[in-house]
Amino acid sequence: MNQSQPALPWNLEALNQVPNVFPIPEMDEGNIKAIFYEGLPYQGRKTRVFAYYGMPESMVGAKLPGIVLVHGGGGAAFKEWVQLWVDRGYAAIAMDLEGHIGADKNQDGVRPNHEWSGPFRQGEFADYELPVDEQWMYHAVADVILANSFLRSLDNVAEDTIGIHGVSWGGIVTGIVAGVDVRFTFAIPVYGCGYLYEASNQYGRSFAQMSAEFAAKVKQLWDPSAYFHRIAIPMLWVNWSHDPHFPLHLFSKSFQAAKQGVYPSSLSIHFGLRHSHAAGWKPLEIYAFADHLTKGSEALAQIVAQEVSGNQLSIQFTSEIPIVKAELRYALNTSNWFEVEWLVKEAHLDRDAREIRADLEAVTSAYFVQITDQRGCIVSTPLYDIKGESML
């Protein structure tokens, strides 16, 4: 490790061990099993993490790819999320990071907690003054790493084909874990990104309310950007154009910083996706990306080069699936990233030359190009300014 980089706050040697597991058979449903597994100590006492996991019954005896599913704010260990991946041939686990047991809400609209929980998330890093090992993010990251340790201990799981997929706050956690747990094969953050201290919304305000000393510490510990230099696995970053929590320019910046030249990392920007757990596990690109890396199916398209000459934009791409559409999305004003009006014009697609060409408007403030393959999978370039320079 670079001597200038601080030591990680977690004991990875301990987290890489298989945790103690406590089955909850009365909560099992078909091939989806309910368990507690032992988490890290909290305030001098042992903790447990509730989780659902499962694997395809029809593939018992085969070596399966795996996926660790990380929920966002207000979420839980979603049984249906596990089932979604099990139905696609994966061993899957979804853990609860907020001390809940099960995902169903009671008559008061809340999920029941359990007596072995660790800390709960407090706003946007609002627990920053507590000791590091009592802060929510410290435990959340550890809980995810332990879930990976459990999943890879199962006889039918192929250890070298396990990925992580997180939504919203789970995307933030995924961005950290991707740079910490080197055993993962791929990572898919949806919505959640890094550079949160640069955002103009609640994330940026949370840093602004801290003292300079604490803000620097939280940035170093819990913002995913502090771990991007450590990432050595392919990542798929998925967001929608007007996400109210994670602005597109910081999402694009995160994709570029975390890419580290690793193939086949990709960015996929959607219009009209909305922000929710169900929306966050809907995009086709998620499953195409995972299937390529674990089952050898066709990869998502890759943007390999871009050139701007005057107002002429040229992009080179590769794709195993025919490309059916290319669009230039551009904005004239990016003073407020949460209210950007993205205009659209069709770009010229030369399939034989694997090239996309478009005319840039002279007053463009930011632009990106989207290409859609025959499956309906969308791949996007990062955001650029009028000179073709990335918006970092």
Determine the structural domain holding residue 154 and report its residue range.
Answer: 12-295
pTM for the model stands at: 0.96
- Domain co-membership, 33 together with 128: yes
- Domain co-membership, 97 together with 121: yes
Q: Look at residue 43 and tell me if it is in a domain.
A: yes
Residue 389: per-residue pLDDT: 63
The radius of gyration of the chain from alpha carbons, rounded to an integer in Å, stands at 21
- Domain co-membership, 225 together with 287: yes
CATH number at residue 316: 2.60.40.1220
Q: How many structural domains is the chain composed of?
A: 2
pLDDT tens for 172-207 read: 999 999 999 999 999 999 999 999 999 999 999 999
- Domain co-membership, 327 together with 268: no
Question: Where does a domain end: 226, 260, 295?
Answer: 295
- Domain co-membership, 323 together with 182: no
Q: Flag residues of the chain having pLDDT under 50.
A: 1-3
Q: Look at residue 389 and tell me if it is in a domain.
A: no
Please give the DSSP secondary-structure letter assigned to residue 325.
E
Here the tokens at position 255 are: 């994709």
Q: Look at residue 203 and tell me if it is in a domain.
A: yes
- Domain co-membership, 361 together with 254: no
Residue 390: per-residue pLDDT: 65
Q: Look at residue 390 and tell me if it is in a domain.
A: no
Cross-strand pairs, 366: 331
- Domain co-membership, 171 together with 311: no
Cα–Cα dist 58/63, whole Å:
12
CB atoms within 10 A of CB 350: 12
CATH number at residue 213: 3.40.50.1820
Cross-strand pairs, 326: 371
Long-range pairs, 12-20, Cβ under 8 A, ≥24: 12/145, 12/180, 12/181, 15/142, 15/145, 15/146, 15/149, 15/181, 16/145, 16/149, 16/183, 17/149, 18/149, 18/150, 18/153, 19/146, 19/149, 19/150
Residue 3: per-residue pLDDT: 42
Q: Look at residue 86 and tell me if it is in a domain.
A: yes
Question: Where does a domain end: 268, 295, 322?
Answer: 295
Q: Look at residue 388 and tell me if it is in a domain.
A: no
Residue 261: per-residue pLDDT: 83
Residue 76: per-residue pLDDT: 93
Question: Where does a domain end: 244, 272, 295?
Answer: 295
Here the tokens at position 79 are: 């049984």
**β-strands 236-240, 266-270 pairing:** parallel
- Domain co-membership, 249 together with 319: no
